[in-house]
Amino acid sequence: MKIAYQGEPGAYSEDAVAAAFPEGKAVPTETVRGVFSRVGSGDAAFGVVPLENSLAGSINETYDLLLNEGTLRIVGEVIVRVDHALLAQPGAKLESIRRVYSHPQALAQCDEFLAELGAEIVPVLDTAGAARRVAEKGHAGEAAVASVRAGELQGLEALAERIQTYPDNFTKFAVIGDRDPGLGPADKTSLVFAVADRPGSLFACLEPYAIRGINLTKLESRPRRDKPFEYVFYMDLEASADRPEVEAVLGDMEEHASMLKVLGSYPAWRG
C-alpha cells in the first residue's frame, strides 16, 4: 500500500508514515499539495501531511487544503517527536557556518540557537531536502537543520543536536484519505466553521458543546481566503461525529453558522 508524504527520505513525515503504516510503502512527494493530489487521483492509498507543531503552531497550508480540496478528509493522526540537529559536511566547525537551510517551521522552532549562531537563514521546502542540498553543494560553511537520520542518509555530521528552543517538540500529522485506513475506532473530530454576521453567533455555536459535556481541544481562527477580513474557525473535539450528542450539536451549529464542514472523525493518536 502506497502512502504519500511531503518531503524526502529522512524527513519527519517519513517517520510518521512508518508509525502509522509499518507495512506501507512511503512515497516521497515534493509538496503538501502534491500529497493531496496523489491521494485524490488514487496514485496513493493515503497521505500523511503535517498539521500542527507544538512550538510553531498550525500548518496553515494543510488546513487550507482540507477546507478547499475535494472530498479528502482526516482519517487518522500521528504525533512524532521532533529533535533537530545542525548538520554539515564532515570536518566542518560550528564557528565556520555562515548559511543554514531548512523548512520555515524547523527554523522557527530553533530560533534561539540560530540567532546565537548568526548565520544567514534560507527557507526551503523540507528538512531532509535541506540536508541533501548541503551534502550536494559540499560547502563547509553551509549547514542544514534536520534530523540526525536525515544527516546520516546524506553523509553529514551533526555539529549540534536537539537545537530546538524548547526540548519537548512534537509535530502532529494528519492521515488523509477517502476511506477508513483501519487505524482504530474514531473518537476525535475536526471541523471548520464560519459564523453568521450577527451578535452572539460564535457563542451560540460553542455553547451546545458545554451543555452536552463535549470537550473541545482546539479552537483557532484563520482568515477566510474567499472573503477578505472574514474568518473561519478550526476546532477539534473529543468525540466521533456519529455520536448522537455530536450530531445534535452540529445541527444546533448550522442555525448560527454561515459555513460548516466536518474535516474528519478518526482515532486520536495514542502511540
- Catalytic machinery residues: 171, 173
SS3 240: coil
Distance (Å, rounded) from C-alpha 65 to C-alpha 57? 17
β-strand 73-81 against 170-177: which pairing, if any? antiparallel
**CA gyration radius, the chain:** 20
* Cβ neighbours of residue 228 closer than 8 Å, sequence gap 6 or more: none
CB-based contact 222:63 (threshold 8 Å)? yes
SS3 25: strand
